[in-house]
Amino acid sequence: MLNAKHTILLISILTLLSMQSHADIYKYVDKHGRIILTDKPTHSGYKQLVKTWKGWEEAKIPKNFNWVKNQKKFDSTIRSIAKSYKLPHTLLHAVITAESSYNPDAISKAGAVGLMQLMPETAKQYGVSNRRNPRQNIYGGSRYLRYLLKLFNNDLSLALAAYNAGEGTVKRYGNKIPPYKETRNYVKKVIKYYKKYKLSMS
């Protein structure tokens, strides 16, 4: 039988995991073997949890990958490209965080690649010859995002929905966020990061 301590821990875990539709969940195991779950990791030792058909698992990322280090590494490039396309650098950081967690080698099941998860057609359209190249990838993703913002009259939510589900899908639903759980969660996630970075990144 579960004792009171284990019961409280189990309830806490289930509560946090139920928040997945609104926030990312990260796990950290301290030196005493205690499991800490949070949606606001404070250091790179936290591992993101993702829901798979097998249940909740740690996100598959390269060994020794440090997203905080990569965030700092790519910051100057992101700021430079953001300035070129008159986009807030904090918005690009938000999109990259949601798309790849700053992993330039990230590949989705759908075949999107790189920091801003470009599909082959999008990459070709915006002159990206190597989707794994961080600078090229950010340039392509930024050009596409700028285009989407113009297309949807600077409505950020619609632009982000189109970035996730395609501009045709957003138009098909009457220029509204499509009723897809993944897309709606994506929009909320990026906007959450965007608000956070506007306060923490000067």
Alpha-carbon Rg for the chain in angstroms: 18
- Rounded Cα distance, 64 and 119, in Å: 26
CB 97 within 8 A of CB 118: no
Q: What pLDDT shows up at residue 46?
A: 73
Task: Report, as an integer, the average pLDDT of 148-173.
Answer: 97
Q: How many Cα atoms within 13 Å fall on the side-chain side of residue 56?
A: 14
Give the CA distances from residue 200 to residues 18, 93, 195, in Å, rounded to whole numbers and listed in that order: 27, 12, 9
Catalytic residue among 99, 121, 167, 182: 99
Give all strands of the β-sheet with 47-52 in edge-to-edge order.
35-38, 25-29, 47-52, 55-58
CB 135 within 8 A of CB 116: no
pLDDT tens, 189-200?
999 999 999 999
| Spatial CB neighbours of 153, under 8 Å, sequence gap ≥ 6 | none
For the cut 70, the answer to whether the pLDDT of residue 63 exceeds it is: no
pLDDT tens, 101-148?
999 988 887 889 999 999 999 999 999 999 999 999 999 999 999 999
For the cut 80, the answer to whether the pLDDT of residue 13 exceeds it is: no
* Residue 99 is a catalytic residue: yes
Q: In the chain, where are the structural domains located?
A: 4-58, 67-200
- Confidence band for 71, pLDDT divided at 50, 70 and 90: very high
- Rounded Cα distance, 185 and 21, in Å: 6
Q: What pLDDT shows up at residue 10?
A: 44
- Token output for 104: 């330039």
| Spatial CB neighbours of 198, under 8 Å, sequence gap ≥ 6 | 88, 90
Task: Report, as an integer, the average pLDDT of 24-40.
Answer: 76
Handedness of CA 154, 156, 161, 163 (dihedral sign): positive
CB 100 within 8 A of CB 116: yes
Task: Report, as an integer, the average pLDDT of 73-86.
Answer: 97
CATH C-level class of 67-200? mainly alpha
